[in-house]
Amino acid sequence: MSGFPLTNLMVYAVVAVTPVMVFWAALRLVAFAQTVRRTTPAMPHPPIERLAADLRRVRRTLADFEEGTPVVRRRGARQAYDALLIQACVALDVEHTLDRLPEGIEREMERLRVEESLRSAGLFIH
- Please write the tens of the pLDDT for every residue from 36-62: 777 656 667 789 999 999 999 999 999
pLDDT of residue 51: 93
Distance between CA atoms of residues 117 and 126, nearest Å:
13
pLDDT of residue 54: 95
- Please write the tens of the pLDDT for every residue from 92-125: 999 999 999 999 999 999 999 999 999 999 998 8
Domain map of the chain by residue range? 1-42, 48-120
* 126 contacts: CB under 8 Å, gap ≥ 6: 56, 59, 115, 119
Q: What does the H/E/C string look like for 28-80?
A: HHHHHHHHHHHHCCCCCCCCHHHHHHHHHHHHHHHHHCCCCCCHHHHHHHHHH
